[in-house]
Amino acid sequence: MASGSDERYLTTAEVARRLGVKTATVYAYASRGMLRSTRLPGRRGSFFEQDEIDEFVANGRDGRQPSGAVERIRTELTMLDDDLLFYRGLNVGELALTVSFEAVAGLLWTGELDRTRAFHRYPKLVDTVRTALAALPPETGMIDAMKVAVAVLGAVDPLRFDLSTPAVVRVGQKLISVLVDALPRGGMGTAGDGEAGRTEIGPAGSDRDDAGGGAGRTGDDQDDGVLIAERLAGKLGGRPIDIALLNIALVLLADHDLAASTVAARVAASARAHPYAVVSAGLGAVDGRYHGVQSTLAYRFLAEAMDNPLRAIAERQRAGGIPGFGHRIYQQHDPRADVLLGLLRGHPDAAAVMPTVDTVIIAADSFPNVDLALAALMHAYDLRPDAGETIFALARTAGWLAHAIEEYREPGLRFRPLGVYTGDRPER
């Protein structure tokens, strides 16, 4: 946002998150003259100059010691404000209902919303990745398979250290395309790629052939217009999934500001790691129990709740918390869950699971987050228990690379906070 100048402003809620305090504390700082608030034409509420907030933190005037450049990441990609989510100023809930995941990935990477964007196929690279995946044991999870695939694709790309924006965009399209096509089928058996549950998404003409060039491609151009969601549908197990719902989930999960995996990706990009290594860093963080795996925990919780909702809730509360509820950022509702659960409630394929979902929402005394929505989607179509992690990681790959593009424009190695040493002191 700007008002008559190039100065950038933060909302009160954004300042509160930046400082790690409540909004009431921000107002208290302003009333004491520690911060200056302003009004912007046509906007409601108080706003604060971003440069002043940066200086406020850097000088430790909020009572905290400065902790390095990690505290001062500026991004034009995603805004979280008042329990709403925006990509480059566009409401994500509205985007999810109208455009393809490919279009949103392009929006994050380039700032342009091209509704006709298609991701080409790369059959030779798919064969290379499948050869590597064939050496893995059969019990290998989807995220582990993706880690191997990303490493292989990086190793065979001689131009991987081209960090220009056009090069990163090409890598992003290629990487996501090959990951989807190379993943093993998840129990779909006889269905061909892109044939399960075909549903039109977005405006007419968005699902079209688009023959283009690219290293590692063959003459398989007639398939280039098939959407990523359509190509992924058969890789998640269970029965044919509604392609529109899957596309919506991918759009909703494409980015989420500075989540743990995104910070990991930006740190790697700051060291000038190539895009494949950036995605590998993101995948490493996603594999943690507090990040991407949460949808799997919510899936298991819903499975128990379908037998006895109240007992399942009581057991999880006793164990420390109910997976799929609440959020560190959102205060009253998760807009991503609102969209996906709202669509599932009216969908005949989800008729068996949604009564349980609504029962646990009422009993949990909290709001559902996107992990519960993914779990409901997984149960609606009998998907693999780790299908939610796969959807999350593939979608977030677009966001990680968008943040890498931003980070490549910053000074290298800028993430160097100072540690507070608490170990033994040497004798003097």
What are the DSSP calls for 165-183, one per residue?
HHHHHHHHHHHHHHHHHHS
48 HSE (CA, 13 A, CB side): 25
Weakest-pLDDT range from 11-15, 298-302, 390-394, 405-409: 11-15
CATH architecture of 92-411: Orthogonal Bundle (1.10)
- Give the mean pLDDT of the chain: 86
How high is the pLDDT of residue 348?
A: 97
Domain spans in the chain, listed from the N-terminal domain onward? 9-72, 92-411
Predicted TM-score (pTM) of this structure? 0.80
* 337, 340, 341, 345 alpha-carbon torsion, rounded to 10°: 170
What spatial distance separates the first Cα and last Cα of the chain, rounded to whole Å? 54
Phi, psi of 86 (to 5 degrees): -130, 135
Q: What number is the average pLDDT over the span 156-165?
A: 98
How high is the pLDDT of residue 33?
A: 81
The model's confidence at residue 320, banded by pLDDT at 50, 70 and 90, is confident
pLDDT at residue 71 is higher than 70: no
Alpha-carbon span 44 to 89, nearest angstrom: 16
The model's confidence at residue 215, banded by pLDDT at 50, 70 and 90, is very low
Phi, psi of 307 (to 5 degrees): -85, -45
How high is the pLDDT of residue 62?
A: 52
- CATH for 9-72, options being 1.10.1660.10, 1.10.645.10, 3.30.56.10, 3.90.1150.10: 1.10.1660.10
- Identify whether the C-beta of residue 395 lies closer than 8 Å to the C-beta of residue 247: no
Q: Tell me which of 135 and 21 has the higher pLDDT.
A: 135
Q: Which of 8, 11, 18 is nearest to 43 (CA)?
A: 11
Q: What number is the average pLDDT over the span 85-108?
A: 98
Grouping H, G, I as helix, E, B as strand and the rest as coil, residue 293 is coil
Q: What percent of the chain has pLDDT over 70?
A: 86
pLDDT at residue 216 is higher than 50: no
The model's confidence at residue 19, banded by pLDDT at 50, 70 and 90, is confident
- 213: number of Cβ within 10 Å: 7
Q: Tell me which of 420 and 169 has the higher pLDDT.
A: 169
Q: Which tokens in the block code for residue 286?
A: 């996603």
Phi/psi-derived region of residue 292, left when phi > 0, alpha when psi is between -120 and 50, beta in every other case: alpha
Q: Tell me which of 193 and 173 has the higher pLDDT.
A: 173
Q: Which tokens in the block code for residue 51?
A: 């440069």
pLDDT at residue 206 is higher than 80: no
Weakest-pLDDT range from 151-165, 307-321, 341-355: 307-321
Weakest-pLDDT range from 70-79, 97-106, 356-365: 70-79
* Matching fold, domains 9-72 and 92-411: no
Q: Which tokens in the block code for residue 112?
A: 């342009």
